Amino acid sequence: MNLILVVEDDAAIRNVLRALLESEGFRLCAAETATQAEFEARAHRPDLMLVDLGLPDGDGVNVIRHVRSWSSLPIIVLSARTAEEQKIVALDAGADDYVMKPFSPPELLARVRAALRRGTQRAQASHELLLGEVRVDIAHRIARGPTGEIHLTALEYRVLECLNRHAGSIVTQNQLAQEAWGRKQLGDTRGLRECIKNLRAKLEPEPHRPKYLSTDPGVGYRLRTSDASA
């Protein structure tokens, strides 16, 4: 039974989440403030966190940053903030997903299950990617398709490595640029788009209709492997 930490200051929403999640067999612990959230996360080591951004003693984004500094557990934001910029800030801080209030209970449960699956896959992450008929060994930097070896540049391997670490989750443009290029390239969306375009041309069966390297417009990119699709 997975343990979920709910970080939410509204008692009514906490009660709704408790009833919903416990009905699906999850165990719950809860926190009403940012300070309590960090304490509960360290004390109970939950399998997943649901985090509201508007907390009485601080911003949920800071909670995400602090927890992400020592743990890779899945984190889903549950917030009434709808601005794209706020969503990007939360994802850049380390959130895996973002669900807006009011939420659909079936959709939230589906996202929780998906995040838990990704967390398990992340813990067992292989350095070999299966993208349809293409296999990419990131550790040894070897890519092969139906017609033989595929040449990828060092940068393209670094981008794939970053996406693979967060497979199934959105990786923001800034996060991807920082991990693959370094801080000096932050904001270079044109260079990143060109790199993704080249990767699709080499790895996707239909580059103009990408199946594995998808775009979340205005936010970032997501890697879907064949295993995850199955």
Beta strands in the chain (DSSP E): 3-7, 27-31, 48-51, 54-55, 58-59, 75-79, 97-100, 128-131, 134-137, 142-145, 148-150, 170-172, 213-216, 220-223
Domain boundary among 123, 146, 172: 123
Backbone φ and ψ for 210, nearest 5 degrees, come out as -60, 135
pLDDT given at position 68: 85
* 12 shares its domain with 115: yes
Domain boundary among 90, 107, 123: 123
CATH of the domain at 15: 3.40.50.2300
Q: Name the token pair of 32.
A: 């009403």
Mean pLDDT of the chain: 88
* 40 shares its domain with 112: yes
Q: Count of domains in the chain? A: 2
Could you read off the pLDDT of 144-198 as tens digits, one per residue? 999 999 999 988 988 998 888 888 888 888 888 877 776 666 666 788 889 999 9
* 22 shares its domain with 51: yes
* 73 shares its domain with 26: yes
Could you read off the pLDDT of 42-96 as tens digits, one per residue? 888 899 999 999 999 999 999 999 998 888 889 999 999 888 888 899 998 889 9
Helix and strand totals (H; E) in the chain: 9, 14
Range of the domain at 44: 3-123
Q: Is the pLDDT confidence value at 139 over 70?
A: yes
Rounded CA-CA distance 213/205 in Å is 11
* 206 shares its domain with 109: no
Domain boundary among 84, 103, 123: 123
* 166 shares its domain with 78: no
From the list 172, 171, 145, the residue with the least C-alpha distance to 224 is 171
